Structure 1
């Protein structure tokens, strides 16, 4: 069985989506629709913007979402048994699965990016990657570093790759202590906030209010959601999990394991770059992997 998976923040690159826009008239129309909805040309930032401009969360999130949906619009959805997205990518998955309309998804993704950037300014925090440490050692590390402030697991990306998030002092302390807890490497990330931690609480509350205005329907394809690592189709549960996602850990490893157990053997990453393919390769040994990032990828479908 086949699943489509959609990337999240960090997969952006300068010029992203330009060849899709130029090659497929329907994808171009979709991208122009997004420009109209947003009231500014996100495509100009995607195609011509600097790396620094594209890295701003308020731009990154709608850019990645739009790239993913433009690519998805040109793919045959027949036979897609399940879908999932990493953090921001969950909105692409839900839009693809018919739970959120494209127009509403563009609006809510842009608002999510704005709120997360704002929360990162109001409550400064940071994130770090912890490589080569057993998940079982994480609690002890976080407990020790937690003496300096809030710190928690933000992403369980793959076995041996965890991202932590929280107060700057606490995350820095965890990076310092990680080797003693068995980590091969620990490195602070260049981010604009402590995503997937309690420091995103102000954004979570405002996002919950914004989501109330969004018509969320039952998904036509099961979506394995980040916060619970199980498939969901019910509209009310989708809404609840989207709110929860901002301050909860992204259970990506557990989600891919759940999808594999359910019979998924082929994962197609739809959107910029190959980050998820690399993670899935380490989670689900033997899974068939492919990516649909460029027009050439799509034409080779």
Structure 2
């Protein structure tokens, strides 16, 4: 059971994708197609832009998507997933990788998602915070006790949960969580309250775009952030993808389910090694690896 997993926002780095572009004519073709579809040269920002340039949500999301998807497409015969999953944004990469979405449709949806989320972030002062060293239940209870919008957003691994919401509510929750014994409760440098009710305007915009996009029958199951279980029905995939914007990313539970279902290999496809590190905290005995750049064609 070969699992391929795809990272989300935060995995970007300056120079990302340049090695792919230089190594593969197919990668060059897909990157140039992306530039035309997006209406701007995202390759210039990916290959030469600063870390600050890459931090803009409208750039970050398509950049990570492109790095992940193009790498999966140039792996050739080596790429044989039995199951896929993606962390937040990475779910779109996974859906192209398993044939549910065409490359062009996936990129258009990611671009739409990024712009809608950017707009929602500008509507209200909001943020996210990482909480380390507490049981999930304690974090959930504290969030419920705070006046204002603050909710669990990313269940990344045991002892690491990200909360999301209105800025003052998140700050208050961090203070309370430290009193409860959190090793750390720190505000993250993000654009807004992803995976919280404050993303509702973005969810509505994305729902419209997803409803108008053709989803194929996947060639292998995807374990989605909302359901945490294997999904193959295109309509269910659509609904989970829409719900994801305002619902928590249940990554810990997803990894536990994939292990329970018989996953035997775990390959991260895209920039960084964040997801490998998270799985090690779920089950450190399990081997992980990164998809490697193929030989020059």
**Fold shared per TM-score above 0.5:** yes
Give the CA deviation at 1:231.
Answer: 0.9
Provide structure 1 residue ranges, at least 5 long, that are not aligned to the other structure: none
User: 1:11, 1:77 → 2: CA distance?
Assistant: 23
Provide structure 2 residue ranges, at least 5 long, that are not aligned to the other structure: none
Determine if contact 1:256/1:284 at 8 Å carries over to the other structure.
no
Residue correspondence of structure 1 range 150-299 to structure 2 within 5 A:
150-292=149-291, 295=293, 298-299=294-295
Aligned to 2:64: 64
Q: How far does the alpha carbon of each residue in 1:34-86 deviate from its partner, in whole angstroms, 9 at most, with x for none?
A: 11111111111100112111100000000000000111012235542100000
User: 1:162, 1:188 → 2: CA distance?
Assistant: 12
Q: Which moved more, 1:165-174 or 1:29-38?
A: 29-38
User: 1:229, 1:260 → 2: CA distance?
Assistant: 12
Residue correspondence of structure 1 range 47-62 to structure 2 within 5 A:
47-62=47-62
Where 1:227 maps in the other structure, the secondary structure is coil
Determine if contact 2:273/2:290 at 8 Å carries over to the other structure.
yes
Number of matched residues? Answer: 295
Where 1:260 maps in the other structure, the secondary structure is helix
Determine if contact 2:84/2:220 at 8 Å carries over to the other structure.
yes
Aligned to 1:92: 93
Where 1:60 maps in the other structure, the secondary structure is helix
Determine if contact 1:67/1:271 at 8 Å carries over to the other structure.
yes
User: 2:209, 2:196 → 1: CA distance?
Assistant: 20
Q: Compute the TM-score of the two structures, normalised by the length of structure 2.
A: 0.96
User: 2:277, 2:53 → 1: CA distance?
Assistant: 26
Where 1:175 maps in the other structure, the secondary structure is helix
Aligned to 1:73: 73
User: 1:91, 1:288 → 2: CA distance?
Assistant: 25
User: 1:209, 1:264 → 2: CA distance?
Assistant: 34
Determine if contact 2:155/2:251 at 8 Å carries over to the other structure.
yes
Q: Does 1:30 align with 2:30?
A: yes
User: 2:141, 2:242 → 1: CA distance?
Assistant: 28
Residue correspondence of structure 1 range 13-24 to structure 2 within 5 A:
13-24=13-24
Give the CA deviation at 1:220.
Answer: 1.1
Aligned to 2:121: 120
Where 2:288 maps in the other structure, the secondary structure is strand
Determine if contact 2:130/2:186 at 8 Å carries over to the other structure.
yes
CA RMSD of aligned residues (A): 1.3
User: 2:5, 2:74 → 1: CA distance?
Assistant: 15
Give the CA deviation at 1:299.
Answer: 4.3
Where 2:258 maps in the other structure, the secondary structure is helix
User: 2:141, 2:213 → 1: CA distance?
Assistant: 40
User: 1:33, 1:78 → 2: CA distance?
Assistant: 22
Determine if contact 2:4/2:81 at 8 Å carries over to the other structure.
yes
Determine if contact 2:156/2:251 at 8 Å carries over to the other structure.
yes
